[in-house]
Amino acid sequence: TGEVLKLFPFLLGSEHTATATLPAAFSDLLPHFLVEPEDEYIVKNKPVTLTCRSTPATQIYFKCNGEWVHQDDHLIERTVDPATALPVMQVTIDITRQQVEKIFGLDEYWCQCVAWSTTGTQKSQKAYIRIAYLRKNFEEEPQGKEVALDQEVLLRCHPPEGVPQAEVEWQRNEDVIDPASDPNFFITTDHNLVIKNARLADTGNYTCVAKNIVARRKSTSATVLVYVDGGWSEWSKWSACGADCSMWRTRECTQPSPGTGGKECQGLDLQSLNCTSEQCPQTVSGAEDVALYVGMVAVVLCLTLLLIVVVLVYRRKKEGLDADVADSSILTTGFQPMGIKPSKPENSHLLTIQPDLTTTTTSYQGTLRSRHDAPGKFSMTNGPLLDPLPNGSHTLHNGKLNSDPAEFVSRLSTQTYFKTLPRDVANTSYGTFNFLGGRLTIPSTGISLLIPPEAIPRGKIYEIYLTVQRKEDLRLPLAGCQTLLSPVVSCGPPGVVLSRPVILSMDHCFDACLDNWAVRLKKQNYEGVWEDILLMGEELVSEPYYCQLEAETCRLFSEQLGTFALVGESLHMGAAKRLRLVLFSDAYCSTLEYNIRVYCMDDTQDVFKEVMQMERQLGGRLIDEPHVLLFKDSYHNLRLSIHDMPQAHWRSKLLAGYQEIPFYHIWNGSQRYLHCTFTLERLSLSTCELTCQLCVWQVEGEGQSFSLDFNIAKDTRAVDSEFLLMDSNATALAGPSAFQIPYLIRQKICSSLDAPCPNGADWRMLAQRLKLERHMSFFASKASPTSVILDLWEAQHFHSGNINQLATVMADIGKQEAMIFLVSDGEC
């Protein structure tokens, strides 16, 4: 033991040692290893554990990269081998990512253990610890090809660099290719895919997928088109000689028929030949000519009468259609984009429906009467949307719901499904909806719920709510380096039956690069447990949830209502959250001290709104435009400092050079709005001008600087009068007023684009023109792809959309007949 202490002087101060005394019978045995440390990979930020077990041994220590690991970092366990009665010692240590990164690029990080007995020492094998990763870009991606039937096809793939090396699989139309079950496919040792004999069924989109223990990457899809060139059939026999003294024969392009873009047959498909004079039939007599002419005149008269009948039927049907359009004025009149006066469109010749000039708002006021008097068509209630009127008609209240929110929350809080809804009236929206759909919005939060037409089954009326939860109101478990990337949003009641998915829109606060993140959508079940329901970027069209990720917004297609949140886990230190930096000061200052508060919050509108409301209560004022800072998962803290104040008039009461917010306080999001306060002191009450630089930066990362120059006495406007101009739009819109596209026009667009067109002028081209081609598979899985695309357009452009731009897209596709909703100023 004394020799060991000489070798390891750090053990002298340790209360726990790995030293044991062997019985005399085993004192002459060298230790041998039962378990040796093995190579390990550090995945993300999880430490790895190395284990060493030896018998008989008086002590065991680990050495990593030539340096002894401190005794306190060893976890020791002693047992006895029941078979040999020899003492067994086991030691484990943990290796963290930070330890490995310290020598990253200089050498490989390794550890081995050394075991001692009274006879001597033994060293274990070296275990190498590497940081696992998988880069973003493929070194070579497959390229699309057009190949002839039975031709061999080679698709190349060189996966991204990674540790450990990535495994590769191939997919066709998102289905995994298994060469064992289909021997026409072969995957080479260097990951290329070979199609031995191209078949028509092999046409599709091929994707190379690389994966290791860290991540899964997909290459861009390569389209393989297997085509068939047409061939000519044999010539038919010559026909009999005709009246014009010629005969003919034909052949068809059917052996094989051209397919999937193959070439048409070359040459003639009809040949004619003059007959000899003996084969020509005799010409008809004069009397027969007269009979022929009489027959021709009779045919012409019959066709004329038939045309007259068709015209009369068409005109009657047109009159009926006009009546239908008139009866459906609830769905078509007065529908210009809300708050936007359209300019005269270039293609105004497409207009066929004139606006109702008596309409002064963007919604309908009048009665909604069933075309048929069958009872039970709607199960009407005395809700705020539809009030019963005589003769079975109902009034649609301008599409806006203005009942008392407090009364609504109080009334529904007694319901079972509503018990978890916080009584936060300012952040709750609700409404009553039927099959016409509608929209709920929480003002100034970026949170909305679009209920498309026909999402609620006909005959049903639902009272639906939308609310944003406060973090302190619920427990959202976050593990490891997970972080909350969105507000927690509830819509309900849960369990209602929907015919089509609704669209929930909410802000997020990350860099929107899925190569840096594993982002999961979580949903709270009825027991209050949070469950993963979707991994962003790997959505399945068969599931009831699907996400459209935009730069600052996530739009969730959901067939179920509930409580949702986005949770992210960084894949490497390049992952970044967006922080919004906001500066406030006191609106009134009558003392020498003056405070500047710097908020560092998630860059989402709901948190910003909450801070603004809180500062309004404090009497604060905004003193500069907010800045955005990318805060990376680098474990480095956030620092704040103030500089360049006029020393003759101001001084800072901060003793240190800067203030600091710990990394994990920001990353785990346990506090909604972290802030630091700088207390300044003016040397005289007459001093009102303040100029300074305020800097916020992440250590070894990005920073932002505020240049302040203002008068603390002149501008004393409170927050609510300066910036809290809340969204003036109604929180709930029901029926046609919730949409820019009138209901009947929407139906016409869907019927025009849902059916596939050979030239592609259908819903697929609409998706491409609206830059939504990434979601083709999702749209194709729906009964009406066009309606889902229009739902997403409505969700994206409710406040800013120009319906004339959509009309231009339709005109480019060649579907002008569907765009009858454009109304120019001149025609109004």
Q: Write the pLDDT tens digit of every residue in 750-786.
A: 998 998 888 888 999 999 999 898 888 999 999 999 9
pLDDT of residue 282 exceeding 50: yes
Residue 482's pLDDT band (boundaries 50, 70, 90)? confident
Selection from 131-145, 415-429, 451-465 with the highest mean pLDDT: 451-465
Distance, CA of 779 to CA of 776 (rounded, Å): 5
Least confident range from 91-105, 199-213, 547-561, 717-731: namely: 717-731
Cα pseudo-dihedral 289, 293, 294, 297, rounded to 10: 170
Distance, CA of 36 to CA of 113 (rounded, Å): 8
Residues 6 or more apart whose CB falls under 8 angstroms from that of 215 comprise 133, 134, 518, 571
Give me 81's structure tokens. Answer: 């081998």
Q: What is the pLDDT of residue 206?
A: 94
Q: What is the pLDDT of residue 271?
A: 78
Distance, CA of 480 to CA of 80 (rounded, Å): 36
Phi, psi of 54 (to 5 degrees): -145, 155
Cα pseudo-dihedral 465, 469, 475, 481, rounded to 10: 120
The pLDDT of 365-383, averaged and rounded, is 31
Q: Hey, what CATH topology would domain 739-821 get?
A: Death Domain, Fas (1.10.533)
Q: What is the pLDDT of residue 333?
A: 34
Residues 6 or more apart whose CB falls under 8 angstroms from that of 657 comprise 641
Cα pseudo-dihedral 486, 492, 494, 500, rounded to 10: -90
Domain 32-133 matches domain 576-724 at the CATH topology level: yes
pLDDT of residue 356 exceeding 70: no
Which of the 8 DSSP states describes residue 26? G
Q: What is the pLDDT of residue 423?
A: 52
Per CATH, domain 428-570 is 2.60.220.30: yes
* Paired strand residues for 531: 523
Residue 302's pLDDT band (boundaries 50, 70, 90)? confident
Phi-psi region of 781 (alpha: psi -120 to 50; beta: other; left: phi over 0): alpha
Which of the 8 DSSP states describes residue 13? G
Residue 417's pLDDT band (boundaries 50, 70, 90)? very low
Distance, CA of 55 to CA of 69 (rounded, Å): 21
Distance, CA of 324 to CA of 552 (rounded, Å): 43
Top-level class of domain 135-227:
mainly beta
pLDDT of residue 508 exceeding 70: yes
pLDDT of residue 716 exceeding 90: no
pLDDT of residue 277 exceeding 90: no
Which tens digit of pLDDT belongs to each residue from 147-200?
888 899 999 999 999 999 999 999 999 899 999 999 999 999 999 999 999 998
Residues 6 or more apart whose CB falls under 8 angstroms from that of 321 comprise none
Q: Is 18 exposed, middle or buried (0-12, 13-18, 19+ CB in 10 A)?
A: buried
Q: Hey, what CATH topology would domain 576-724 get?
A: Immunoglobulin-like (2.60.40)
Q: How do the domains of the chain map onto residue ranges?
A: 32-133, 135-227, 428-570, 576-724, 739-821
Distance, CA of 133 to CA of 22 (rounded, Å): 45
Which tens digit of pLDDT belongs to each residue from 563-617?
999 999 988 888 999 999 999 998 888 889 999 999 999 999 999 998 998 888 8
pLDDT of residue 74 exceeding 60: yes
Q: Where are the beta strands (DSSP E) in 623-729?
A: 627-632, 638-643, 650-652, 659-661, 673-682, 689-698, 703-711
Selection from 8-17, 65-74, 354-363 with the highest mean pLDDT: 65-74
The pLDDT of 91-110, averaged and rounded, is 84
Could you give the C-alpha distances from 821 to 352, 738, 741, 749, 766, in angstroms and in order? 8, 16, 8, 11, 17
Q: Hey, what CATH topology would domain 32-133 get?
A: Immunoglobulin-like (2.60.40)
Distance, CA of 462 to CA of 379 (rounded, Å): 11
Q: What is the pLDDT of residue 113?
A: 94
pLDDT of residue 241 exceeding 90: no
Which of the 8 DSSP states describes residue 795? H
